Amino acid sequence: MSDFQQIALIGPTASGKSSLAIELAQQNGAYILSLDSLAIYKEINIASAKPSMEERQEIRHFGVDVIFPDEPFDVTTFIKLYNSAKQQAINDSKNLIIVGGTSFYLHILLNGISQLPPISKKAQQKSNLLLQNLEEAHKFLYSIDREYLQSITIHDRYRLEKMLNLYFETEMTPTEYFKANPAQSIIDKNLPIYEITVDREILRKRITRRTTQMLKAGLIDEAFYLEKNYTRKPNSMKSIGIKEVLSYLDGHYTKFEMKEKIITHTAQLAKRQRTFNNSKFTNKVALKLDELHTLLLEKRRLSS
């Protein structure tokens, strides 16, 4: 176990994380844990831009093809995946590379989460009543815990429901509850973190190229298949790439407009990812892709 090493590789979507991680894993005898909120789904292969089956045969991946598109998951799923990946890597005398654009999950691994209490039917019913109007639900929570609600948007139904359930079950505001039940980190906070930085214009070109490739690979057929088998209700069906294709199939977009919407929404996601990474991970090495390639591969370094 003393020889076990792990690093995290983050960066905006389409920045080249997956390819670098695979090269690094091949050179250093490592497994890969994907922290990607879309790659976790089975049958969402093109929209998620997940590693190919061939790449996954060469390097063992965790966090890919875990659940079906209509199955729910939350941060605890990724905590279990991390624990499983780490233990398997140690058992097999491998290292571990944590990689993905959904670095919110990495933040949770580093900072932990508080255990939430079981939610009674009574509390759930009160929450459901308020959630019939998300604006009212947000307004109510904001009135009792302004500080905590500043980080939750009016459209984030999942988190609003969690906080309502918590309040109605415990009669404590989220801030009060989490202060009384502090989070415990899951991973060593000394984890080396490497971030790929990309010029905005270069990233836009990469996103455009990847979107073109996804459409050629059959993105429209994939979205059609997913809708037929899972309907539009699951959260996974609201993901970038899928929702635009569904709007195109509804006749709201032309094919050109659909493609432009995917590119624009992906670029907006990349901006949010950069902002999150800059605010949450201060102790990191941030370099361009070629510079990180040199640092991690040519100098044969897995960890600092």
pLDDT tens for each residue of 199-208 = 999 999 999 9
pLDDT value of residue 2: 53
Do 157 and 12 belong to one domain?
Answer: no
Look up residue 284 and give its amino acid: K
pTM: 0.82
pLDDT tens for each residue of 261-279 = 999 999 999 999 999 999 9
**Minimal CA–CA distance to 214: which of 242, 188, 237?**
242
3-state secondary structure string, 78-123?
HHHHHHHHHHHHHHCCCEEEEECCCCHHHHHHHHCECCCCCCCHHH
Q: How far is it, in rounded angstroms, from Cα 242 to Cα 218? A: 12
- Domain span at 279: 6-112+185-298
Do 80 and 148 belong to one domain?
Answer: no
pLDDT band at 1 (very low <50, low <70, confident <90, very high): very low
pLDDT tens for each residue of 87-139 = 999 999 999 999 999 999 999 999 988 888 999 999 999 999 999 999 999 99
Do 209 and 280 belong to one domain?
Answer: yes
Do 244 and 221 belong to one domain?
Answer: yes
In a domain, 162, yes or no: yes
Is the pLDDT reported for residue 304 higher than 50? no
Please answer whether residues 105 and 35 qualify as being in contact, where contact means their C-beta atoms are separated by less than 8 angstroms. Answer: yes
